[in-house]
Amino acid sequence: MVQRDRANSLLGLILIIAGVVLLIGTLGWADVGDWYKWLPAVLIVVGAYQLYVNRFEAYLGPVLLMAIGAALLMATLGVIKWSTFGALWPIILVVFGLSILLRRGRQPETSADATSDRLNVVAFLGESKRRMVSQTFRGGDITAFMGSVELDFREAAVADPPAKLNVNTMMGGVDLRVPDSWVVDMRVSALLGGVEDQRKGRLASQPGAPHLIITGLAIMGGVTIKS
């Protein structure tokens, strides 16, 4: 978690410096050259880092992030036209659609009073709420496309090894209510979106504490952890 926080801080610092330099060039205070054309490479680096952190287990989010970065980079360098870059968004929609279909085939959606050790939740232009009470929860998949998902884990327990939850949201939101005693490892890539652990009373990592690993991608959407 510390390593991820440092990486996010470094990325934020890079973006701030880039913004300041671009502002200086825009105001005409100095000639900053055309190095800014390489800025999309930051998305490729972040995507590759996410693949490494996720140990190549959750690849949809990082690969999409790298693809967007590569397309932007080729557009800014003049390799392709900007109109060609516009075709990327329909491709993203197709990929999200395929991910929904594939995940629905793996595991049926759980009931509101879920005792299953795995879950598969899809919110498409709507809202989905779940309360997990399984005492051997192992993970699952969440997809929110222009919709919202709310999951309550406060009565659940995590099995050993750590549970792994893959979350992908596009123009939607995912709220997870997790006990303060749980250790949550956030490995979600965000593009024009946000990922945040808002648990004010969360405890420091303790030996044997329940461990939840969250991977995935948030495009123009958000993933929030609450108590």
Neighbours of 197 (CB within 10 A): 17
pLDDT in tens, 192-226: 778 888 888 776 666 778 888 888 888 888 899 98
Helix 60-76 to helix 41-53 angle, to the nearest 10 degrees?
Answer: 160
What digits encode the pLDDT tens for the residues 74-84?
Answer: 888 888 777 76
DSSP H helices, the chain, are 2-26, 41-53, 60-76, 82-85, 88-106
